[in-house]
Structure 1
């Protein structure tokens, strides 16, 4: 096992709820020194330290990393969990909201990575785990821009992995499927306008998405998978966590004819 796992310093973005909070709870109980971030952190009695970080504010990212280094002197593990969701017909989704999602899910996340790398390189050790999404492996109807932002993070993670491995830094992606969190209440929804030509299908898709989240697996199961990656000496590039059909859908996309796969997706979404 590389170095003493019980004394690693872990930074988790988006640790106020859902996957981030569950991971912070799990790792802090095991003796890891855990820093979590939130746009507006609240004081708590948790066993980890919460600091302010807003992925849409570059200065906030710089200050957050500086604060972790000031307190801990290092960052051994970075878990990029924070991000934004977005739904809507591609034609009707405001491009300003699309920019916000890409700023959080890609650009801001990459800035976090870039500001952490020098500290990991100095110690010749580090693990970066980017929380992507199974949605990033396919273009989903009415979630196209979310799929695109996560797909971009997946691809750039592969590039980072090859570039910084020489410094002793390992990069992995963990793609969850539907998780029972409150993400639905925090994602941007293009309003389903009755006069829109997409109204009927979009509203039905929204209901389906929310049902999937409500029936999704627990955030704690994702946290356990993250723990495995941290403890692995040679972590893989990609990890999937979700229901059988969610994970199997990625393999189907690789082997089925494109139109056949598209027909399956359309049937699933009642299009």
Structure 2
């Protein structure tokens, strides 16, 4: 029987690439969007779901179970970018980012666990970020929200081991998607003490996304994980130097690594 897959945020970017690839491979795929009516030409079903609204999550999960009788794989892909000097980002925007990137996946996981426990099987893949392994300048809130999800997965794996439910993280680097357009950008204020370094860093970040890798790399990685009997705790997908930056953080003294980051961002 074909495996049934739920992908949050499956209407564009990495989620769309994963959904289309898994559909081609014979999976039954359900993506989600807050506005599914905008994606009537999708190659797989798009359900209404907002990770910040538990009612929409419960309804989407119930629809899949009613239709298919099971739910094999959940991919927590929905996420939001945020940039700015931490001092200048409004508290409401910080909380909104964590609601999407951290509490959102928790809401989805809580909604699907009863069905997976009933099946005595299931796989949950949390899409995090290589940025979650380090505190990046002017992306500190994003780094923190994705880093929190990485750690949450580590704890969840141990709590779920008795139910044959697997969980893993996949941390992408920079990919050529529309994520930059959907970010919250703290405004570049003329009287801000951060105006010049933040402006330069923002430009560099957008260039990285524009020249990023093919998002199909993530689709290939996800299929490989689905076909792995016992997935690892962490996976990284992206350019060599982006993945290697995590290795460097482990082996270099903190101040030396900090200096490398500052040189990279020209700070």
TM-score normalised by the chain length of structure 2: 0.98
Task: Map 1:171-190; keep pairs closer than 5 Å.
Answer: 171-190=167-186
Give the equivalent residue in structure 2 for 1:29: 24
Match of 1:19 among 5, 9, 14: 14
What's the CA shift for 1:115?
0.8
Task: Map 1:35-184; keep pairs closer than 5 Å.
Answer: 35-41=30-36, 42-184=38-180
Partners of 2:139 and 2:43 in 1: CA distance: 36
Deviations 1:171-202 (A, max 9, x none): 01000000100000001000011110000000
SS at match of 2:74: strand
What's the CA shift for 1:44?
2.3
Partners of 1:72 and 1:49 in 2: CA distance: 13
SS at match of 2:189: coil
Aligned 8 A contact 2:54 2:107 in 1: yes
Give the equivalent residue in structure 2 for 1:266: 262
Partners of 1:19 and 1:46 in 2: CA distance: 14
What's the CA shift for 1:43?
4.4
What's the CA shift for 1:55?
1.4
Q: CA RMSD in A?
A: 0.9
What's the CA shift for 1:122?
0.5
Change (3 A) 1:43 1:261: closer
What's the CA shift for 1:234?
1.5
Aligned 8 A contact 2:11 2:39 in 1: no
Unpaired runs of 5+ residues, structure 2, are none
Partners of 1:57 and 1:46 in 2: CA distance: 23
Q: Which 4+ residue blocks in structure 1 deviate beyond 2 angstroms?
A: 42-47
Partners of 2:61 and 2:6 in 1: CA distance: 9
What's the CA shift for 1:58?
2.0
Give the equivalent residue in structure 2 for 1:242: 238
Deviations 1:181-229 (A, max 9, x none): 0000001000011110000000000100000001110111111101100
TM-score normalised by the chain length of structure 1: 0.96
Aligned 8 A contact 1:29 1:47 in 2: no
Match of 2:228 among 226, 232, 238: 232
Give the equivalent residue in structure 2 for 1:218: 214
